[in-house]
């Protein structure tokens, strides 16, 4: 394996799995959020492509009626 331009011996199998994620899909995330006993003050969507993040944020607002769902802007700070 090459890491930062240096050859590194690897004593393991290396596999790449394209197109799969260890994260829950939108339905799974919404189901997990439904389990909260108290609505969080703020929800930050920090993972995923911009379009997917926007759809998830809208789903949280529409389905769970949580108002403060934010997709943070790079290098922006937020007061919660």
Residues of the chain with pLDDT > 90, as a percent, come to: 57
* Domain range list for the chain: 22-80
Q: What is the mean pLDDT of the chain?
A: 88
What pLDDT is stored for residue 70 in this prediction?
A: 96
Please check the confidence at residue 79 and state whether its pLDDT lies above 90: no
**Is residue 30 within 8 Å of 63, Cβ to Cβ?**
yes
Please check the confidence at residue 68 and state whether its pLDDT lies above 70: yes
Q: Quote the pTM value.
A: 0.68
pLDDT per residue as tens digits for the range 14-48: 777 666 565 678 899 999 999 999 999 999 999 88
């Amino acid at each position: 394996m090459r890491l930062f331009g240096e050859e590194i011996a690897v004593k393991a199998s290396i596999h790449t799995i394209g197109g799969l994620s260890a994260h829950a899909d939108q339905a799974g995330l919404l189901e997990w959020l439904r389990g909260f006993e108290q609505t969080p003050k703020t929800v930050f969507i920090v993972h995923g492509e911009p379009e997917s993040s926007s759809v998830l944020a809208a789903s949280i607002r529409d389905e769970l009626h949580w108002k403060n769902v934010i997709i943070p802007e790079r290098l922006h700070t937020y007061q919660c």
